[in-house]
Amino acid sequence: MTSGKIHITALPVMEHFYTLQGEGFYQGRAAYFIRLGGCDVGCVWCDVKESWDAGKHPEVEITNLVAAVKKTPAELVVITGGEPLLHNLDELTAALKAAGLQTNIETSGAHPVSGNWDWICLSPKKFKAPLPEVVALASELKVIIFNKSDFEWAERYAAQVATSCKLYLQPEWEKAAQVTPLIIDYIKTYPQWELSLQLHKYIHVP
């Protein structure tokens, strides 16, 4: 998947670190996270608002990012944000794959896909809806539940993803105590869905 943009050798990086994936299909798996700066979606409950302004984060050479990953035993690399698809990710994923690494992305789907991905986690947001072409590519649909109306929002996109796409409902962290019981009841009624928890916040890792 290429977007025809200019050659990119560096990207604005807020942080990168080796940890456990806390959410969705790969929950509990060791993963190297690269969090890119820049986001125009603007979720009111975002827990990394400091990522939104790409200009506040240093440009890091792709070669240096890959070298940092290779210093760890990581086999899986997760590109997140912010909204990572604000950037052309062709060169980044090519370099990661050349190093023998699995490439996963977490995206709102609000921008066209660039890069070569083994797994696309789509987390659609009401603040800026995903593009239909990204919805069609999703490996995993992860919908954040903030209030009861979000279940209808979740079903809207569940009807659009591929039949092989994994379906997850995840409580918004600050409202987890209130909405998690609602999610449990919902999944018991509609068992095609699974529960995603922000495991990393419970076990206190990045």
**Helix runs in 56-206, H state only:** 62-70, 90-98, 132-137, 149-158, 176-189, 199-203
Would you state the pLDDT for residue 2?
45
Would you state the pLDDT for residue 45?
64
CA angle 191–197–198, rounded 5-degree value: 160
Q: Which tens digit of pLDDT belongs to each residue from 185-198?
A: 999 999 999 999 99
Q: Does residue 157 lie within any of the structural domains?
A: yes
Cβ atoms of residues 82 and 97 within 8 Å: no
Answer whether residue 177 shows pLDDT above 70.
Answer: yes
Residue scoring higher pLDDT (46 or 101): 101
Q: Which tens digit of pLDDT belongs to each residue from 129-143?
A: 999 999 999 999 999
Q: Does residue 2 lie within any of the structural domains?
A: no
CATH code where residue 108 lies: 3.20.20.70
Element (H, E) at 24: none
Residue scoring higher pLDDT (58 or 44): 58
Full residue range of the structural domain in which residue 105 is found: 10-203
Would you state the pLDDT for residue 194?
98
Q: How sure is the predictor about 5, in pLDDT bands with cuts at 50, 70 and 90? A: low
Would you state the pLDDT for residue 50?
80
Q: Does residue 1 lie within any of the structural domains?
A: no
Would you state the pLDDT for residue 3?
46
Reported pTM:
0.93
Answer whether residue 4 shows pLDDT above 80.
Answer: no
Q: Does residue 181 lie within any of the structural domains?
A: yes
Domain count, the chain: 1
Q: Does residue 128 lie within any of the structural domains?
A: yes
| Average predicted confidence (pLDDT) for the chain | 94
Q: How many CB atoms lie within 10 A of CB 195?
A: 14
